[in-house]
Amino acid sequence: MSYVAPLKDMLFVMNELAGLSEVNALPNCEDATPETVEAILEEKAKFCSEVVAPLNHSADKEPSSWSDGKVTTSKGFKEAFRQFGEAGWQGVQHPVEFGGQGLPKLVATPCIEMLNSANLSFALCPLLTDGTIEALMTAGTEEQKSTYLTNFISGKWTGTMNLTEPQAGSDLALVRTRAVPQDDGTFKLSGTKIFITYGEHDMAENIVHLVLARTPNAPEGVKGISLFIVPKFLVKPDGSLGERNDVHCVSIEHKLGIKASPTAVLQFGDHGGAVGMLVGEENRGLEYMFIMMNAARFAVGIQGISIAERAYQQAVAYAKDRVQSRDLAGSAGAVTIIHQPDVRRMLMSMRSQVEASRALAYVAAAASDAGHHHADEATRKTNQAVYEYLVPIVKGWSTELSIDVTSTGVQVHGGMGFIEETGVAQYYRDARILAIYEGTTAIQANDLVGRKTSRDGGAVAKGIIGQIHKTETALAAGTGEYADDLQAIRKRLVDGTRALDDVVNYVVANIKTDIKGVFSGSVPYLKLAGVVLGGWQMARAALVAVDKLKAGEGDAQFYKAKIATARFYADHVLTQSSSLRAAVVEGSAGVLALTEEQF
Amino acid sequence: MSYVAPLKDMLFVMNELAGLSEVNALPNCEDATPETVEAILEEKAKFCSEVVAPLNHSADKEPSSWSDGKVTTSKGFKEAFRQFGEAGWQGVQHPVEFGGQGLPKLVATPCIEMLNSANLSFALCPLLTDGTIEALMTAGTEEQKSTYLTNFISGKWTGTMNLTEPQAGSDLALVRTRAVPQDDGTFKLSGTKIFITYGEHDMAENIVHLVLARTPNAPEGVKGISLFIVPKFLVKPDGSLGERNDVHCVSIEHKLGIKASPTAVLQFGDHGGAVGMLVGEENRGLEYMFIMMNAARFAVGIQGISIAERAYQQAVAYAKDRVQSRDLAGSAGAVTIIHQPDVRRMLMSMRSQVEASRALAYVAAAASDAGHHHADEATRKTNQAVYEYLVPIVKGWSTELSIDVTSTGVQVHGGMGFIEETGVAQYYRDARILAIYEGTTAIQANDLVGRKTSRDGGAVAKGIIGQIHKTETALAAGTGEYADDLQAIRKRLVDGTRALDDVVNYVVANIKTDIKGVFSGSVPYLKLAGVVLGGWQMARAALVAVDKLKAGEGDAQFYKAKIATARFYADHVLTQSSSLRAAVVEGSAGVLALTEEQF
C-alpha cells in the first residue's frame, strides 16, 4: 500500500492555523519562506513515498535480526538511510554551523510526520539522533559538539538514549548503572540498559549512546544521575574512529510492533568498563535528558499522527474499492462499502482525529519557534510556556488516538484487516508502543497536572482558554451558507471549553489537599485537553474555510470537506468532554475505593 | 501467566442478577440446581486452568501449520481436545438424547467464558461445533441428527460454518458456490470458501462442514441460498467413516491473532464435486444459518468478556508485583505500581467493564432459557424477544470493549506489555478479531436498528427501559452507609436511560424518512445500549451488595468491592452516554456530508 503525503492539509495547517508567515518573520527564520517550505515538503514527500514507504511492510515481515552481538537491519534500510543522510534530511531543524538547514520546528514537523507515516520503524533512528543532537547542543562542550554533531547531521553516525534499566522504567530514581572517574578525565561505565531503540544496527559507522549513570558518592535518587557520551567506537583526536568500546548488544526484543526497529539490551563494562565522557555537570544528567526527552516526546506525538494518517489512507482506498451490499438508499446491485453509513462514520472518525491532532501539533511547533526566536523576551516566554503545556498533550493525546484510529482502520477492512498480508494490522501493532515509550500517557498526564498546570496556578491553561473564547465569538458571528455548521461547532466547543476550565480549576484547587484524587483524573484531563484543543483548531479551520469559500479562493472542495470534518469532530469527538470532565471532577471515589486485596 | 476462573463473580451474577433459581424452576431445567451448577463450574475451572490455559502462549508462538493440505495444530491441542470431549464439555447445553447434559444456557455460558479465557484459539473449535449442533437440531432430519450429533457431542467430530467467499463477506447475497443435485438425492458442491475457522485440523476423526451454496435455478440474492452438510469423510450407513470427500484445505491465513486457530481456505469440488446433503428445505439456508449464527454471535460476545477477564487478571498481578516510583501520598522508597492512581484507574476501567459485560450476557442467557422453557407462552415470547434484542449488544459491545480492555492491559505493563514474551500483547492481538467475525459491529448494529428496534416500533427496548426505571426507584430509596454511592449511580443511570430512550425514539421516528441518517448512528446506538444496560446490571449488583452487607451475609469484601466497581462504572463509563446520544441524534450531518471524491 502506497503512501501519499497529505501536503494540502499540511500546508493549510501551517499557513492558516500555525502562522508560517509569522514564523518566517522571526529572527533566524528568514529562510523559511512559503516557497522554500513548499519545495522542501514536496521533496521530502517524494523521498518518503518512493524510498522509505515501500520498505515498511517487507521490513515488518523480516525484522531486524541479532546474531553474535551484531544487528542486521531489514532489507533496504541501510541504503535508504544512506540516501536520507546524503539528502540532508537529518539536519532540517539543526544548526547551519554543523551542516544543518537551521529551519524552524514548524517546518521540521511535517517532515518528521511524513517519514513516520512512511515507515515508523525506520524513522525511529533519526528521531533518536534528533534528541541526541538537542541534548549535546544544550549541555555539550564545544569539543563534544564539533566531534559529534556534524557526523550526526550528515547521517554518518546515529545517537541513542539510554535511560531504562530492568528495575528502572518510568522511575529513573532507580537507575543503578555506575560511572567511575578515571585519571584522564573520562569515566568507566558498567551496567545494563534495556529498551534501547537502535542501540545496535548496521546503518551507520558509529553509534553514540547518551547514558544515564551514577558516579561514586552521588546522591540517592534523581539528583544523583549524570549524563555520559559512550560511543560504540571511540573517537580519536583527529575525528577518525578508534577502538571498539566496551558496550555490547546482548539481545534484541521480540515485539508486538515496530519490529524492524531493533530494541537492544546493552551491556556496559563487562570487559573492563565502557569509556564515557561526562556531558555538562555531574548530577545534572536528568535535567539534560529532559531536553532530549521533551524533543522526543513531541516527535512521538507526531508519530501518532503519522501512523493514524497512514491507516486512514489505506482505509479510504479499501472503502472505495471493496464492493459489498447494496446502498441503503436503494440502488439495485452491490456498491463499494464507502456508501455504507457506518463505513463513512469510521472514516470520518479517523480523518477528523488525524486533522485535529495534526493542527494542534503544528500550532505547538510554531509556539516553540516563537519561544526560541521571537525578538521580544516576554513573547518568547509566553510562547515557550504554551509549547511546554502542549507537549504532554501532543504526546499523550495523539498517541492514544492513534490506537483508536489504527483499530478503526482494521475494522473498515473487516476480516481482511486481520490478515497480516493486508498491512493494516501492522499499523495497529506499531501504534501500540507510542503511548508507552518516551513516557507513558500517565507520565505525560502527571507532567500536565504537576509542572504544567498546578505549578503556575493554571495560568497558561487559562491563557489558552481565553484564546478559545475568541474563536467561540467568531463562530457565533458566522452567517450564510455554513451558519448551521458553525453554530453546531460553537455549541460543542463552548461545552468543551467550559469542561476544560472546570477541570483546570479543580486541579489547582485540590492538588494540595487531595493529591491522589487529582492524579486519579490526570489521564482523563490530558484527553480532555487534547479533545478540546484539537476541537479548537478544527473550529479555527472551519472559520478559515468559510472565509475562503466566501472569497472564492483556493480549492472549494478542500474547504467544504474541512467544514464537514470539523462538524463531525464537534458532534462525535468534542462531545466526549462532558464524560471526561466527570471522570476528573467527580470520578476519583470509584478509582481509589478498593483495597489492594480486593483486586 | 496462569488463569483463575472468577467463580465468585460468576456465581454472584448467576444467582443474584440472572436468577439461576428461577431458571432451575423452569421445565426441563430441573437438573440445574445451585449445588450441581457450582460443582460443574468448579470442575470446568479446573480443566481450563490446568489443561487449556497453559497451552495459550506456547500455541501463539508456534501456531497451527499447513502442509500439503493437512493442518497440524499447536502442541498439546490434540490431547487437550480429547480430554475436553471425554469429560463431556462439548455437551453441556445440548440434548441428553444425543449424549449431552441438557443444561440451561445460563449454565453453559460461564463454561464457555472460562474456556475462552483459558485459550481463545482452542475454544473456537467447540464454539463452531456448538453452532453446527444448533443448526442441525433445528433443521436436520432425524437421520442427520442421529448420524452427526452424538459424534459432535462426544468430541469425536467437529463442525464448521462455511459462509464467506472472497467476494461475499458481510454480504451473503453474493455467494456463488454451486450445488448440483444428483440422482441419489445428494448434491455435488463446487466453489471456494474462505475464513473457515478450524476448516482443517488434526484434533478430530471427521470435520463436518455446513456450507451455504446455490442450487441451479435458485433465485438471485439471499433467497436462493441453501444449506448443505459436507463431511470431510463421507459417513457410511453403519456410521463408520468412508471415502475422503472432495473438499480440501488449500492454505491457512497468517493472522494478527488467534494464531493457533487455523483459518482455512477450503476448495470444494476441484476433483469432481464434493458430496453434500441438503439440510432442511432448498433456498432456506440463510434462515438456518442464522440460527447457527445467533448462537455463535452470543458466544463471540462471551469471547470478548473472556479475553478481557484474562487481560485484567494479568494486569492486576503485574501491578501488585512491579515496584516503581514512590507513593504520591508520600512514602519513602518505591512501591508497587498498584499504588499509582492512574494504574488504579486503568485496573478499575478493565474490571468494571468486564463485570458489567458479564452480567449483561448472563442475564441475556437466562432470558434465552425462559424463552425456550417457560411454561407460559406469552412469557416465553417476551423473554425470547428480550434475548434477541440483547444478542447484537452482547456481541457488539462486549467485543468492542475487549479491544479497549486488552489495550489497557498492555498499558498497565508499560514497555513490558509490548514484548511478546510477557503474553499480554497476545490478548490485544487475539481480541481484535472479535468485533469482526460472526458479523462486524456494524452488522450487529444494523440488526439492532432494523430487526430489533424499528420492526416492533421500539416495544422491546421500551419494555427494558421500563425495567431500568424500577432499578432507578430502588436506588433512590437507598439509605445508610452506601447512600452516596447509590445516589451517584442513580444519577448516571437516569441520564443514561434517558439518552437510550431518546435514541430509541429517534430511530423509530426517523427510519422511514432518513434511513442513511439513522444507520449512520447505528454503532453509537449499540454502544450506548451496551453502556446503559451494563450500567443497569452494575446498579442492580450494587443494590444486592448493599442488602447483603446490611444483612451481614456472605463475603463483605466482595460486596464492598462490587459497590465501588459499580460506582466507578457509573462515573467513568455510564457518563459516555451523553456523547453517544449526540452521535446518534445530532451526529448524522457530519457523517454523510463528504462526497466520495472529497475523501
Question: Which domain, by its residues, includes B467?
Answer: 455-592
Residues of chain A with pLDDT under 50: none
Cβ-contact B534, B360 below 8 angstroms: yes
∠ CA A21-A22-A24, nearest 5°, is: 60
What pLDDT was estimated at residue B169? Answer: 86
Name the residue of chain A whose CA is nearest to B171's CA: A325
- Interface contact flag, B590 A565, Cβ < 8 Å: yes
Pairwise CA distance, residues A298 & A365, whole Å: 9
**Residue B473 confidence class, pLDDT cut points 50, 70, 90:** very high
Does residue B90 share a domain with residue B187? no
- Interface contact flag, B599 A347, Cβ < 8 Å: yes
- Interface contact flag, B564 A325, Cβ < 8 Å: no
Residue B412, Cβ density class (10 Å: 0-12 exposed, 13-18 middle, ≥19 buried): buried
What pLDDT was estimated at residue B52? Answer: 98
Q: Which of A165, A599, A429, A400 is nearest to B314 (CA)?
A: A599
Residues in chain A: 599
The residues, any chain, with a CB within 8 Å of residue B36's CB and separated by 6 or more, are none
What pLDDT was estimated at residue A329? Answer: 82
Chain B residues in contact with A407 by the CB 8 A cut-off are: 403, 432
What pLDDT was estimated at residue A198? Answer: 98
- Interface contact flag, A572 B561, Cβ < 8 Å: no
What pLDDT was estimated at residue B556? Answer: 97
Cβ-contact B226, B284 below 8 angstroms: yes
Pairwise CA distance, residues A8 & A14, whole Å: 10
Cβ-contact A3, A310 below 8 angstroms: yes
Question: Measured between CA atoms, how close is B572 to chain A, in angstroms?
Answer: 5
Does residue A447 share a domain with residue A587? yes
- Interface contact flag, A587 B571, Cβ < 8 Å: yes
Does residue B101 share a domain with residue B173? no
Question: Residue B252 pairs with which residues in a beta bridge?
Answer: B264
* Angle separating helix axes B105-118 and B34-47, nearest 10 degrees: 20
- Interface contact flag, A436 B596, Cβ < 8 Å: no
The one catalytic residue among B438, B586, B596, B597:
B438
Mutate to test the interface with A, among B328, B572, B597 (most CBs of A within 10 A): B572
Chain A residues in contact with B594 by the CB 8 A cut-off are: 344, 348, 561, 564-565
| Residue A53 identity (one-letter amino acid) | A
Cβ-contact B89, B111 below 8 angstroms: yes
Max Cα-Cα span within chain B: 85
- Interface contact flag, B316 A599, Cβ < 8 Å: yes
**Residue B290 confidence class, pLDDT cut points 50, 70, 90:** confident
Which among A89, A120, A153 is the end of a domain? A153
What pLDDT was estimated at residue B581? Answer: 98
The string of DSSP codes covering A157-173 is EEEEEE--BTTBSS-GG
- pLDDT exceeding 90 applies to what percent of chain B? 96
Residue B290 CB neighbours (<10 A): 13
Does residue A583 share a domain with residue A446? yes
Name the residue of chain B whose CA is nearest to A523's CA: B342
Domain annotation covers residue A75: yes
Mutate to test the interface with A, among B124, B167, B255, B256 (most CBs of A within 10 A): B256
**CA-CA-CA-CA torsion for B513, B517, B520, B524, nearest 10 degrees?**
-90
Which among A127, A153, A179 is the end of a domain? A153
Question: Measured between CA atoms, how close is B77 to chain A, in angstroms?
Answer: 23
Does residue A575 share a domain with residue A449? yes
Which among B153, B183, B205 is the end of a domain? B153
Domain annotation covers residue B260: yes
Domain annotation covers residue B427: no
Chain B residues in contact with A519 by the CB 8 A cut-off are: 328, 340-342
Does residue B144 share a domain with residue B164? no
What pLDDT was estimated at residue A155? Answer: 97
What are the two backbone dihedrals, phi and then psi, of residue B279, each rounded to the nearest 5 degrees? -105, 125
* Mean per-residue pLDDT, B49-68: 97
Task: Write the CATH number for B230.
Answer: 2.40.110.20
Does residue B143 share a domain with residue B37? yes
Question: Measured between CA atoms, how close is B398 to chain A, in angstroms?
Answer: 15
Domain annotation covers residue A144: yes
- Interface contact flag, A520 B344, Cβ < 8 Å: yes
**Grid coordinates belonging to B534:** 451494563
- pLDDT exceeding 70 applies to what percent of chain B? 100
How many structural domains are present in chain A?
A: 3
E strand map for A241-346: 241-244, 247-252, 263-268, 274-279, 323-326, 334-336
What pLDDT was estimated at residue B125? Answer: 98
Task: Write the CATH number for B106.
Answer: 1.10.540.10
What pLDDT was estimated at residue B442? Answer: 98
Pairwise CA distance, residues A344 & A285, whole Å: 50
Tell me the pairing of strands B157-162 and B206-213: parallel
- pLDDT exceeds cutoff 80 at B392: yes
The sign of the CA dihedral B376, B377, B383, B384 is positive
Domain annotation covers residue A498: yes
Tell me the pairing of strands B247-252 and B263-268: antiparallel
Does residue B142 share a domain with residue B162? no
The string of DSSP codes covering B111-152 is HHHHHHHH-HHHHHHHHHHHHHHHHHHHH--HHHHHHHHHHH
Q: What's the mean per-residue pLDDT of chain A? A: 97
Chain B residues in contact with A433 by the CB 8 A cut-off are: 418
E strand map for B133-222: 157-162, 178-181, 187-197, 206-213
Chain B residues in contact with A445 by the CB 8 A cut-off are: 342
What pLDDT was estimated at residue A74? Answer: 98
Selecting from A334, A429, A575 the residue whose C-beta is nearest the C-beta of B578 gives: A575
Domain annotation covers residue A578: yes
Selecting from A338, A407, A583 the residue whose C-beta is nearest the C-beta of B596 gives: A338
Selecting from A519, A560, A599 the residue whose C-beta is nearest the C-beta of B341 gives: A519
Residue B384 vs residues A113, B178, B388, B450: alpha-carbon distances, Å: 53, 35, 6, 17
Give the DSSP H/E element, type plus range, for residue A211.
strand A206-213
Max Cα-Cα span within chain A: 85
Pairwise CA distance, residues B459 & B451, whole Å: 12
What pLDDT was estimated at residue A458? Answer: 98
Selecting from A255, A418, A575 the residue whose C-beta is nearest the C-beta of B256 gives: A418
Domain annotation covers residue B424: no
- pLDDT exceeds cutoff 90 at B438: yes
- Interface contact flag, B561 A592, Cβ < 8 Å: no
Name the residue of chain A whose CA is nearest to B580's CA: A572
Question: Measured between CA atoms, how close is A489 to chain B, in angstroms?
Answer: 11
The residues, any chain, with a CB within 8 Å of residue A306's CB and separated by 6 or more, are A112, A113, A114, A115, A116, A117, A120, A123
Does residue B135 share a domain with residue B27? yes
- Interface contact flag, A171 B324, Cβ < 8 Å: yes
- pLDDT tens by residue, B172-208: 999 999 999 999 999 999 999 999 999 999 999 999 9
Pairwise CA distance, residues A138 & A160, whole Å: 16
Selecting from B421, B578, B592 the residue whose C-beta is nearest the C-beta of A341 gives: B592
In the three-class reduction of DSSP (H, G, I as helix; E, B as strand; rest coil), residue A220 is classed as coil
Question: Measured between CA atoms, how close is B579 to chain A, in angstroms?
Answer: 5
**Grid coordinates belonging to A499:** 469542561
The residues, any chain, with a CB within 8 Å of residue A567's CB and separated by 6 or more, are A485, A488, A489, A542, B589, B590, B593
Domain annotation covers residue A528: yes
Name the residue of chain B whose CA is nearest to A403's CA: B407
Residue A550 vs residues A472, A543, A547: alpha-carbon distances, Å: 20, 11, 5
Name the residue of chain A whose CA is nearest to B585's CA: A571
| Residue B127 identity (one-letter amino acid) | L
- pLDDT exceeds cutoff 90 at B370: yes
The radius of gyration computed from the CA coordinates of chain B, to the nearest angstrom, equals: 24
Does residue B166 share a domain with residue B137? no
Does residue A272 share a domain with residue A148? no
Chain mean position to CA B435: 10
Name the residue of chain A whose CA is nearest to B566's CA: A590
What pLDDT was estimated at residue B432? Answer: 98
- Interface contact flag, A414 B170, Cβ < 8 Å: yes
Name the residue of chain B whose CA is nearest to A336's CA: B596
What pLDDT was estimated at residue B329? Answer: 82
Residue B11, Cβ density class (10 Å: 0-12 exposed, 13-18 middle, ≥19 buried): middle
Cβ-contact B101, B35 below 8 angstroms: no
Place of cell 466527570: A582
The one catalytic residue among A113, A220, A438, A481:
A438
Cβ-contact A153, A91 below 8 angstroms: yes
The residues, any chain, with a CB within 8 Å of residue B32's CB and separated by 6 or more, are B20, B23, B24, B103, B104, B106, B107
Cβ-contact B285, B162 below 8 angstroms: no
The residues, any chain, with a CB within 8 Å of residue B419's CB and separated by 6 or more, are A253, A254, A255, A256, B425
Does residue B198 share a domain with residue B146? no
Question: Measured between CA atoms, how close is B282 to chain A, in angstroms?
Answer: 23
A438 is catalytic: yes
What pLDDT was estimated at residue A294? Answer: 85
